[in-house]
Structure 1
Amino acid sequence: MRPDQAIIAALPMAVKARLILRSDREGLRHLLGHGGLIAVCACWIGLGLPLWWALLPVQGVLIVFLFTLEHEATHKTPFASEALNEGVGRVCGFLLLLPFAWFRYFHLAHHRWTNIEGRDPELAGGKPETRAAWVWHVSGLPYWGAQAGLLADLIAGRAEAEYIPARARGRVVTEARWMGLGYGLVLLSLWSSPLLLWIWILPVVLGQPALRIYLLAEHGDCPRVANMLANTRTTYTSAVMRFLAWNMPYHVEHHVFPAVPFYQLPALHRLMRGQLQVTAEGYRAFTADYLRRRR
């Protein structure tokens, strides 16, 4: 048995049952806070209040970190209600050009083959291995190009990745086509009002670099081994950052026991903190170390 598996096997059944308990109340309370901040920024920008332009990157960071909620929804853990998990996941996917049905299968394959070359789909695009490549990666431009290409392929009916089961390909394509229709309506709306440009489209472009840095810390420069204690990194960070990322900086904990909902990850962290192998003292420290290794 691998060390990461042994940790979960050693937990008493009552503790495991408590850790995996999902809660609509906890999920909706967190969503109200995150969504409320997005709504406040949108109103401030839309009304053109003083320094509205300074809130564009703030709004972008708030929106792009809905990725962490969509990610959680693929596991069906942020809410007890399956309808809430599915609905919220699809809304987040639309805002981020990240089809929810496709992402679920992509992400489950990532969990099954975390950091294993040739198996983990997250490694298909490679990690930035030079400082210039890091700048290009963190700009977010490769992400938008890749997602636009993915959506075009899915709309055309090309959903043939090996991690997508044959039985699910129809659903994946159908969702992408509905998303394409939605984006078409958004483009049409810009002819009459630029509001969505200012409160959504431009902000997510400005905010994407923050998400790229965050995501790179999850597995970047971790050993290419099966042990989740070694191939994944937990990053110690502020309460604000943990709130924004739905506690996913506790990323080793999430990979070791993915059935645990976001609000229980701090409790799981306390149980296994002494066994963590790869950690970082904040995203600034991780980034500095990552770039130092590419000097």
Structure 2
Amino acid sequence: MDEVFGRKDMITPTELRDLSAKSDLRGFAQLASHFGAIAATGILLSLTWGSWLAAPVFLIHGVLINFLYAGQHEMSHWTVFKTRKLNEIFGRLFGFVLIYPRDFDQIQHFAHHRYTNLWEKDGELERPPYSLASYLLWVFGPTYWYSRIRRVVRFSFGVVTERYIPDARKPDVIREARFHLAGYALIAVASVATGSWLAVTHWLAPMMVTKVVHQLQNTIEHLGLPHVDDIALNTRSTRTNAFMRWMCWNMQYHTAHHAFPGVPFHKLPDLHRTIFVAKNRKPQEMSYLGFQAALIRAFWGGRTEADYPNDRIWISDETDLSPSAPAAPDDPTGLKMEA
């Protein structure tokens, strides 16, 4: 996934080279902070279990687990660590936790980047157009988890029907699914043997119940934008706060990421400033809740995704025209245009 898909007039080769520098230190710092937060909420969940205080801790813990996908996504791009093997090791670990095997994720995601938002080719668009009901079932998790679990089981039986998976890679996803199933079975057997419910109370249940929060990020990135081959039109960035940017490994700068996916997560704010703010440009962007409200209105009354044009934006928000990048270190306003 080292190929660059982007507009060459956005940035100079020197700027892109500097922004594409990877760092084991920055990767481990982000990894440690995310793992540390999950460990802290996990311990607190154990201490509060059985009391009403466990409910908010349970929810926060689950949200933190779900957002590990942001790290897995970046590791699929090989950008979190300079040491390439570390991206694979931790990417596979995250994929196991999230029931989202790494090899499959990489193949699907490559097709997504290569054919972003193009029906029939984008690996993430192998689905019927959304209705309000199907959208809500996906956002809140029932159909999401059904499809993820069913796919792992199907692959383990050697059934691979996804058109974007090349024949040469089918043995990889089959073998990977079988390793996943074996690992899950081992955990289940150990849990029964020890009489422990930890795998349910501290992993599966919080992760599945809180999927809806992570889906706020998944759905805002491309839905409601044109199915055309133009990153500036088919990808949306997100206006949000510093905590959400940390938890999502800066994936809110999604247009910048799609323009130059070789740039690591910790450099995405700088990339955004370079290709948008400094040039007085602005990507498509909305807030999480603003997007969800607009989408529900668009689907209200029985309308579906198929009722909207493929070549025009049908979900947008022009109420906030301020740059979405955080302020540069020497510019507390965040509005300075860099030379």
TM-score, normalized by the shorter chain, greater than 0.5: yes
Out of 255, 265, 280, the position equivalent to 1:262 is 265
What is the CA-CA distance between 1:9 and the residue it aligns to? 4.2
1:128–1:137: 8 Å Cα contact kept in structure 2? no
Query: Hey, what's the Cα distance between the residues in 1 that align with 2:55 and 2:72?
Result: 27
Higher helix fraction (1 or 2): 1
1:111–1:255: 8 Å Cα contact kept in structure 2? yes
Please report the TM-score for the alignment, with normalisation by the length of structure 2: 0.81
Query: Hey, what's the Cα distance between the residues in 2 that align with 1:210 and 1:5?
Result: 29
Unaligned runs of 5+ residues in structure 1 are: none
1:29 maps to what in 2? 29
What is the CA-CA distance between 1:208 and the residue it aligns to? 0.5
Query: Hey, what's the Cα distance between the residues in 1 that align with 2:12 and 2:234?
Result: 25
Relative distance call for 1:214 and 1:10 in structure 2 (3 A) is: closer
What is the CA-CA distance between 1:127 and the residue it aligns to? 4.9
Letter in 2 for 1:186: I
Query: Hey, what's the Cα distance between the residues in 1 that align with 2:152 and 2:238?
Result: 32
Render the CA deviation track for 1:116-161: whole Å, top value 9, x for unaligned: 111112111245332x333212111101110111101111122353
Unaligned runs of 5+ residues in structure 2 are: 301-339
1:292 maps to what in 2? 297
Out of 56, 59, 62, the position equivalent to 1:57 is 59
What is the CA-CA distance between 1:72 and the residue it aligns to? 0.9
| Mapping of residues 93-172 of structure 1, within 5 Å | 93-130=95-132, 132-172=133-173
Please report the TM-score for the alignment, with normalisation by the length of structure 1: 0.93
Q: Which has the larger radius of gyration?
A: 2
Relative distance call for 1:127 and 1:239 in structure 2 (3 A) is: farther
1:56–1:206: 8 Å Cα contact kept in structure 2? no
Letter in 2 for 1:216: T
Query: Hey, what's the Cα distance between the residues in 2 that align with 1:170 and 1:136?
Result: 31
Query: Hey, what's the Cα distance between the residues in 2 that align with 1:171 and 1:127?
Result: 30
Letter in 1 for 2:256: E
What is the CA-CA distance between 1:189 and the residue it aligns to? 2.7
1:238 maps to what in 2? 241
Query: Hey, what's the Cα distance between the residues in 1 that align with 2:46 and 2:86?
Result: 28
What is the CA-CA distance between 1:30 and the residue it aligns to? 0.6
Relative distance call for 1:158 and 1:133 in structure 2 (3 A) is: closer
Greater relative contact order, per chain length (Cα 8 Å cut-off, separation 6+): 1
2:16 maps to what in 1? 16
Render the CA deviation track for 1:184-243: whole Å, top value 9, x for unaligned: 012123322011211111100121011112211000101111000100000111000000
Question: Across the two proteins, how many residue pairs are aligned to each other?
Answer: 289
| Mapping of residues 186-197 of structure 1, within 5 Å | 186-191=187-192, 192-197=195-200
1:190–1:197: 8 Å Cα contact kept in structure 2? no
Q: Identical aligned pairs, as a percentage?
A: 33
Letter in 1 for 2:34: H
